[in-house]
Amino acid sequence: MTFAPRLIIIGLDSAEPSLVFDRWRADLPTLNRLMAEGVYGELESCIPAITVPAWSCMMSGRDPGELGVYGFRNRLDRSYSRMIVADSRAIRFPRLWDILGETGWRVAVIGVPGTYPPSAVNGVLISCFLAPSTDVTYTFPPTFAERVDTWIAKVTPGRSYLLDVPNFRSDDKERILRDIYAICDQRFAVATALIEEERPDFLMLVDMGVDRIHHAFWKHMDPQHPLFVPDSPFAETIHAYYRYVDAQIANLLSRCDHQTAVLVVSDHGARPLLGGVRINQWLSAQGELTLRTTPDEPANLDQVEVDWSRTRAWGAGGYYGRIFLNVRGREPQGIIPPMEYERVRADLAARLEAMPGPDGHLLGNRVFIPQHLYRTVRGVAPDLIVYFGNLAWRAVGTVGGNGIFTQENDTGPDDANHAQHGLFIWRDPQRPGGGRRLDNVQIYDILPTLLGRFNIAIPEGLRGTALEL
């Protein structure tokens, strides 16, 4: 080979360090070799540890407050119902490929969350799962989609390019599994073709299959899961997929030479999902949220009529909880006097931290105040961010019916939640790491470390630190 990228980043969304570093390390020869030759460790994610915004935090060196992105959906304004998807237009800081492109590197970016709509780069870019379909412009340049179709026809005949695993929260496990493997095959086939035909200096891809397989199959492998399925035909499904991805990485790296620096990284980890906390039901029971009519069966908050003149707080569900306060002069029908805001917020945070679980013991909630977490707060941030059971429990937004706790997810069957720590594995041919494990690395450290490694000026104001790896 006469050409190889200078840097490859292989993103494995949600890859769990305990599985890669410990439980399955001997079964993952490629990752094991990269660890043995390089430096590796856990990578502390942003708060919240959510795919959107985590990948953009990693690639920009900015925190969610600076980005103004607090999750997949964000409040557009102070009205009560306008939540919009945070796409690439929300990211107002350059990301790694932008900085490299400015210095003359030719870049290739594949499926990195937060890249739809596609922006102009010095090279090519294929958008992420935020694109509604391949009927829209999802590549840069726009005509590049035709070449993508040609490449994937060779590995998944008869299938279009998959932006994501469709409906990965369903009971059709066989179909989900087929789609997970198809999307993996497509990502790595496109990456291989890009190296051979486009000759990028930098290539980055993100495989979403790892995250999707956790959500769909964790209870089939983990006896500690409350809904564990003994003797499941899917007991080895996650293990087998990790091994498959390891082989795909080996094949991709075989197209490079030993001078290519390689980063394998995840934006967060994974853990079994113990259940859901119906945050709006809890707020209602606490007297903070008042409905004009309470439904007999659980319903989403936007499906019921809220009495905003008697409501002080409401919540949004997801992998973590977001609490919004109804402040006078800020929200349309706000009732909390501004002078009482901090007292009300602190009182609500204390009650959330004291929440007992179904067994009567403390659930172990962690409650965060955005202004204390972030260096600045842009956009409409939650007033409180809540990790229920430190992410062992999901936030469920429904009201009505009985009970605060549920095993039913409001978005479909889901076996896993996110964990705060993902992983990184760094193999640098110019600086052999000798298998050193490095602790206390944050997601914000990735950008300045990579820029420093390639002697590129590090922008002022980044949150992270350039590490000596």
What backbone torsions phi and psi does residue 346 show, to the nearest 5 degrees?
A: -65, -40
Q: Compute the CA torsion angle 168, 169, 173, 177 (nearest 10 deg).
A: 20
- 45 pLDDT band, cuts 50/70/90, is very high
Average pLDDT over residues 439-458: 97
Instruction: Tell me the pLDDT tens digit for each residue of 318-334.
Output: 999 999 999 999 999 99
Quote the percentage of the chain above a pLDDT of 90: 90
> Within a 10 A sphere around the Cβ of 87, how many other Cβ atoms?
18
Amino acid making up residue 297: E
Q: What is the pLDDT of residues 274-284, one digit of tens each?
A: 999 999 999 99
In the chain, where does the domain assigned CATH 3.40.720.10 lie?
A: 7-273+418-453
Residue-level pLDDT at 307? 96
Q: What is the mean pLDDT of residues 348-366?
A: 97
Question: What are 196-232's pLDDT values in tens digits?
Answer: 999 999 999 999 999 999 999 999 999 999 999 999 9
What is the average per-residue pLDDT within 34-55?
A: 97
- Predicted local distance difference test score (pLDDT) of residue 25: 98
State the helix-helix crossing angle for 173-197 and 144-155, rounded to 10 degrees.
Answer: 120
User: b/e map of 276-298 (b: 16 or more CB within 10 Å)?
Assistant: bbbbbbbbbeeebbbbeeeeeeb
Helix (H) or strand (E) holding 52: helix 51-60
Distance CA 25, CA 240 (A): 13
In this predicted structure, the answer to whether residue 1 has a pLDDT above a threshold of 70 is no
Stretch 415-440: mean pLDDT, rounded?
A: 94
pLDDT, position 402: 87
Note the pLDDT of residue 258: 82
DSSP string, 227-287: T--TT-TTTTHHHHHHHHHHHHHHHHHTTS-TT-EEEEE-SSEEEE--EEEEHHHHHHHTT
Q: Is 174 exposed, middle or buried (0-12, 13-18, 19+ CB in 10 A)?
A: exposed
The tens digit of pLDDT for each residue in 107-146 reads: 999 999 999 999 999 999 999 999 999 999 999 999 999 9
- What mean pLDDT comes out for the span 412-426? 94
Inform me whether the pLDDT recorded for 378 exceeds 60.
Answer: yes
What band does 83 get if pLDDT is binned at 50, 70 and 90?
confident
Percent of the chain predicted with pLDDT > 70: 100
Q: What is the mean pLDDT of the chain?
A: 95
Question: Within its chain, how far is the Cα of 396 from the centroid?
Answer: 18
* Distance (Å, whole) CA 289 – CA 398: 12
CB within 8 A of 458, min separation 6: which ones? 448, 451, 452, 466
pLDDT score, position 2: 54
Q: Does domain 7-273+418-453 have CATH number 3.40.720.10?
A: yes
Q: What pLDDT is stored for residue 408 in this prediction?
A: 78
Q: Looking at residue 410, what is its pLDDT?
A: 73
Residue 106 has pLDDT above 70, yes or no: yes
Give dist(CA 372, CA 67) in Å, integer.
15
- Supply the pLDDT for residue 350: 98
0.85 exceeded by the pTM? Answer: yes
What percent of the chain is helix, strand and coil (3-state, nearest 5)?
A: 35, 20, 45
pLDDT at 429: 92
